Amino acid sequence: MVAGFRTRGQPAALAIVARAVASQRPPSAVVIAGPARAGKTTLALDLTAGLLCLAEDAAARPCGACVACRKVEHGNHPDVHRLGPSGAGGQIRIDQARSLIVELSLLPLEGRFRVAIIASAQRLNPDAQNALLKTLEEPPVGAVLILCADDETLLLDTVRSRCARIRVGAVAAPTIAELLVERGVADASSAAGIARLSDGRPGLALALAASPEVLVHRATLARSLLDLTTAGRRQRLAAGPSLLADAASVAAVVDQPEGDAAADGVASAAPSTSGAPVGPTEGSTRAAPAARRAAALALIETWREVARDLVVVLAGGTGLVREIALLEDYERVAAGVSIDEVAAFLARLDGLAAAIEAYANADLVVDVLLLAWPQARLAA
């Protein structure tokens, strides 16, 4: 960890941010790109705190102790503005973008800069992105716009070309385990297991550690998917609703919006403008379309991990399996499927996840995947 930065396991990204803080001449617009929950929001807040820090020694910024740093951490600094997806469609709309533009046009109240952080920036709809163009082309003095995007290719070329770029990648499991122990959310033994399951994403690891019941739902999903490799067509299709129900419980914790900094590796932060919970409301008989999409995406994410571990076992790398408790199940299924079949299924997962993001019917996508899931050949 560098100076007072909270970001872990991102040396290249931190070096860029540290230079901007030290020079006090940051780019007027930055895209921080990388996997969901890998620490993009944490890095954005580190940059923000460094720019607004009141420490006299520039090398000590962010100090984490001054009034400005504490305000950034707790989400009540008047010169910091947060924006994220909202509404049933989970988009960032033009009216939200216009409001943010007005805020950035004002002079700073307490610090040297006004900083805006857009979480899940890949959900800016085209009109909202176009509305930002004039601000990107002619940024107000002292304004810094930070876009955190899981998939920067969803941003318009005209937007990306006007932004500096910082890439965030997966964090090593030991580093994530150390973070969990340091935060007091897991002991050393459970931290190591959670770190393996997090796939290099510290924000996801923190969410899993805070809600251990999610680990049970994920394990149930994984075991059910493995069992379905020996099931027939009718049994597979009948399993869809129960799989989505378990996945909804996972999504309610794991699929928090990127704007939720606590889930992205920051202990406390401002509530974002992100919208409704992903789970069904109490007493409802059927989840809203947005909730079913979230559940289907959580199911696909678990499915991807199961298929990945199955490929690992088929390739002879049992020591690299993330969910050690399921190793015997993986070995049982691996005896009846080929690595090519599972690899082809993995490729199909990515395309259908994108289809759900584009508002394909979640139930139909799950049915397609259930029928495409490799059929294990039973031993004679």
Backbone angles phi and psi of 139, in degrees to 5: -65, 140
How far apart are the C-alpha atoms of 138 and 294, rounded to whole Å? 37
> Measuring CA to CA, which residue among 322, 315, 318 is closest to residue 342?
315
Q: How many domains does the chain have?
A: 3
Alpha-carbon separation of residue 312 from 278, 322, 339 (angstroms): 32, 10, 9
Q: What is the residue whose two structure tokens read 């899981």?
A: 150
- Sign of the alpha-carbon torsion through 214, 217, 223, 228: negative
**With pLDDT > 90 as the criterion, what percentage of the chain qualifies?**
67
Say if 261 falls within a structural domain. yes
Look at residue 261 and tell me whether its pLDDT is greater than 80: no
Which residues, other chains included, contact 113 with Cβ-Cβ below 8 Å and sequence gap of 6+?
A: 26, 51, 52, 79, 142, 143, 144
Where is the domain boundary, 113, 142, 167? 167
Domain hosting 190: range is: 172-210
How far apart are the C-alpha atoms of 239 and 229, rounded to whole Å? 12
Model confidence at 253, in pLDDT bands (50, 70, 90)? confident
The CATH number of residue 54's host domain is 3.40.50.300
Say if 377 falls within a structural domain. no
Backbone angles phi and psi of 166, in degrees to 5: -125, 130
Residues 158 and 73 in one domain: yes
Say if 1 falls within a structural domain. no
Angle in degrees, CA 225, 352, 241, rounded to 5: 45
C-alpha dihedral, 141 to 147 to 153 to 159, nearest 10°: -20
Residues 113 and 239 in one domain: no
Specify the pLDDT at position 285: 39
Specify the pLDDT at position 121: 96
Residues 290 and 315 in one domain: yes
- Rg (the chain; Cα; Å): 22
| Plot region of 283 (φ>0 → left; ψ -120 to 50 → alpha; else → beta) | left
Where is the domain boundary, 138, 167, 196? 167
Neighbour count for residue 211 (Cβ, 10 Å): 16
Residues 136 and 254 in one domain: no
Mean pLDDT of all residues in the chain? Answer: 87
Query: At 379, which amino acid appears?
Result: A
Residues 156 and 181 in one domain: no
At 78, list the tokens.
């008047």
Residues 222 and 157 in one domain: no
Say if 2 falls within a structural domain. no
| Helix H or strand E segment including 213 | helix 212-227
Residues 200 and 229 in one domain: no
Specify the pLDDT at position 187: 92
Contact by Cβ (8 Å): 238, 217? no
What is the maximum alpha-carbon separation in the chain? 76
Say if 379 falls within a structural domain. no
Say if 243 falls within a structural domain. yes
How far apart are the C-alpha atoms of 311 and 106, rounded to whole Å? 54
How far apart are the C-alpha atoms of 21 and 230, rounded to whole Å? 56
Residues 267 and 361 in one domain: yes
Say if 249 falls within a structural domain. yes
Residues 110 and 193 in one domain: no
- Sign of the alpha-carbon torsion through 120, 263, 290, 84: negative
> Measuring CA to CA, which residue among 208, 290, 293 is closest to residue 254?
208
Contact by Cβ (8 Å): 82, 119? yes
Angle in degrees, CA 52, 57, 62, rounded to 5: 40
Angle in degrees, CA 44, 188, 37, rounded to 5: 25
The 10s digit of each residue's pLDDT in 115-142 is 999 999 999 999 999 999 999 999 999 9
The 10s digit of each residue's pLDDT in 189-241 is 899 989 988 889 999 899 889 888 888 888 899 999 999 999 999 999 999 99
At residue 56, the 3 state secondary structure works out as coil
Say if 313 falls within a structural domain. yes
Residues 190 and 276 in one domain: no
Residues 104 and 204 in one domain: no
Q: What is the residue whose two structure tokens read 């999903």?
A: 221
Residues 35 and 117 in one domain: yes
Specify the pLDDT at position 279: 39
Look at residue 83 and tell me whether its pLDDT is greater than 60: yes
